Chains A and B, each alone.
Chain A
Amino acid sequence: MPKLNKDSVFGTFVIIIAFCLVCSVLVSSAVVMLDPFKAAAITTDRQLSILKVAGVTPGKNVSDTYNKYITARLIDMKTGMLTDDASDVAGAYNFASLAKQPDTSIAIPADKDYAGIRTMAQKMPVFYVKDDAGNTTRIILPFYGQALWSTAYGYLALDPDLNHIVAITFYSHGETPGLGGEIDNPRWQALWVGKRLFNDNGEYRFLIAKTPDKVGEGKDYEVDSLSGATLTARGVDNAVRFWMDYAYKAFFDNNRTTTEEIN
């Protein structure tokens, strides 16, 4: 066999093609082999965030704890009704990517788009937290919106009355650590606990304010803003306002009626 001249045109092609083949086989096999681990890591990460706002301490096996206490359902955002999808489908529902596809999303009217996200998915998951006796103790709703540098994604856990906040967490954001990143600070998140979203007339009243009303009528609704993170806090405020006052309105209305009927 004649020796291949590596610097000839033919040699260059042969060698580069060989290089690329070897590298692409290496990369694609690594990606395929690691896929189950990646999927598991993403699921565990989501379940941990939900358990955190659910107020449940995860046991040794995160998914066992999750399956025991959390039931996920999907809300049809147009009607506010729950769909028949099973808990695992609802839990893994990727609303952020479905919101970007035209046939699975709803355009948000510009005057209502406080969160700056333009479109939302046609369905959104809702997570019901059950205690050991099977009673619903909390209802967790995902929300997201444009903060300062990034889209912040979070979960808001509400009392079954769908008005009092019991916990909040953010599971993905790209805000500056130490400034906007302080939205992750447990002490700030603790300020949210016990606040109400709606006043007695059912109007949205929740607010993240620079000087919150701590004594008067507003003390049930207002959370102190973050110093040094005005724009991030405003983004979070707008995101919560959009989802709770507009996007989930039909769901809230339906479920408030149901509660009254039962009573």
Chain B
Amino acid sequence: MADDVKAPTWKETLVDPLIANNPVMIQVLGICSTLAVTSSMKTAFVMSLSVTFVCAMSNLLVSSTRNFIPSSVRIIAQMTIIASLVILVDQILRAFAYDLSKQLSVYVGLIITNCIVMGRTEGFALKFPPLPSLLDGIGNGLGYGLVLCLIASVREIFGSGSWFGMTLFETVNNGGWYVPCGLLVMPPSGFFLVGLLIWLVKSYRKDLIEAPEYKTHKGGC
């Protein structure tokens, strides 16, 4: 490895992915699962933990073996590691949190195709030593988890009147006063909320707005 590649500091790897380089809000990766598992806090939380674990461990393993991975088949080598880790997580959930694994259904298995994991191993772990890679994996997993939990909080509180399954507003169906917002429990609402979140973050942090890649013609007809 060339010595002139400067390894990023722990702050860049661990803290930046939370907001400034958030995998969901800024890199816009992993949107599929963001929509699918955020209707309740419990599933979103377990999904965040699973992705953080897979992301951290795959980064660590890919980085540890980066000097052995032949570059022509590096994607396959990364996929092998990621897939093994995901199967491991899926099996552990099935054995010790059967109820939750039923709710998450296919989405645990689909962590394999979550672009965040692949993006980090390919974009970071192949270039840098194990320790920064591990931190980078944890940071990105937490950044993903942060967005997931924010969206799930809004969706569960206003869509079902509860948070982590604890009732906050008694819904009409249960004899209370709160009429839940049906839209929020449907997957499209996750999309709207991601959009709103990106808007919010970028209007507060103007430096995160990318320069336009091309100009459009502003003229009339």
Contact = CB atoms under 8 A, between A and B. Distances in A.
Contacts of B63: none
B208 to A, nearest CB: 33
B91 A172 contact: no
Size band of the interface chain A makes with B = 20 to 34
A261 to B, nearest CB: 43
A185 B182 contact: no
Nearest to A26: B84
A15 interface: yes
Contacts of B91: 30-31, 34, 38
Interface stretch (B17-25, B44-52, B68-76, B131-139): B68-76
A37 B71 CA distance: 40
B87 A11 contact: no
A176 B73 contact: no
A23 B160 CA distance: 41
A147 B27 CA distance: 38
Interface of B: 39-40, 65, 67-73, 76-77, 80-81, 83-84, 87-88, 91-92, 94-96, 98-99, 102, 105, 159-160, 173-175, 180, 182, 184-186
A63 to B, nearest CB: 15
Contacts of A6: 67-70
A27 B174 contact: no
B166 to A, nearest CB: 16
A178 B73 contact: no
A34 B99 CA distance: 16
B68 A15 contact: yes
Contacts of B99: 45
Contacts of B88: 26-27, 30
Contacts of B185: 176-179, 181
A187 interface: yes
Contacts of A188: 173
Given A15-B68, A34-B94, A178-B185, A185 B173 contact: yes
B96 A41 contact: yes
Given A187-B173, A187-B175, A228-B182, A19 B87 contact: no
Contact of B105 (A15, A174, A185, A228): A174
A173 to B, nearest CB: 10
A34 B65 CA distance: 27
B169 to A, nearest CB: 13
Interface string A6-28: 11000110011001100110110
A89 interface: no
Contacts of B73: 12, 16
A41 B94 contact: yes
A182 interface: yes
A226 B157 CA distance: 21
Contacts of A42: 98
Contact of A7 (B71, B98, B175): B71
Given A16-B76, A174-B105, A41 B81 contact: no
B94 A19 contact: no
Given A12-B72, A177-B160, A19 B175 contact: no
A20 B186 CA distance: 39
14 contacts: A6-B70, A11-B70, A15-B69, A19-B77, A19-B80, A23-B83, A27-B84, A34-B94, A41-B96, A176-B185, A177-B40, A177-B160, A179-B186, A187-B174
A15 B81 CA distance: 13
A31 B91 CA distance: 7
B186 A176 contact: yes
Nearest to B65: A19
A45 to B, nearest CB: 5
